[in-house]
Amino acid sequence: MAIGEAILAKNDHLAEHNRQWLAARDITAVNLMSSPGAGKTSLLERTIIDLRGSRSISVIEGDQETRLDAERIQRAGARAVQVNTGAGCHLDAPMVQRALNALEPDPGSLLFIENVGNLVCPALFDIGEQAKVVIISVTEGDDKPLKYPHMFSAADLIVVNKTDLLPYVDFDLEAFTAHARSLQPGVLILPLSVRSGAELDSWYRWLRHPAISAERRPKSEPELAKAK
Tell me the DSSP string of 174-205.
HHHHHHHHHHSTT-EEEE--TTT-TTHHHHHH
State mean pLDDT over 207-211. Answer: 86
pLDDT number for residue 213: 60
State mean pLDDT over 167-191. Answer: 97
Confidence of residue 210 (pLDDT cuts 50, 70, 90): confident
Could you give the count of Cα atoms lying within 13 Å of 49 in the half-sphere of its Cβ? 13
| Alpha carbon distance 228, 226 (integer Å) | 6
CB 133 within 8 Å of CB 202 = no
The closest alpha carbon to 60, from 79, 77, 43, 47, belongs to: 79
pLDDT number for residue 6: 64
**Structural domain includes residue 115:** yes
pLDDT number for residue 45: 98
pLDDT number for residue 209: 86
Structurally, the chain folds into a number of domains equal to 1
pLDDT number for residue 8: 80
Sign of the C-alpha dihedral computed for residues 193, 195, 198 and 202 taken in this order:
positive
Domain that holds residue 102: 3-134+196-227
State mean pLDDT over 57-71. Answer: 96
**Structural domain includes residue 54:** yes
**Structural domain includes residue 177:** no
| Cα-based angle 160, 115, 4 (whole degrees, multiple of 5) | 120
CATH of the domain at 210: 3.40.50.300
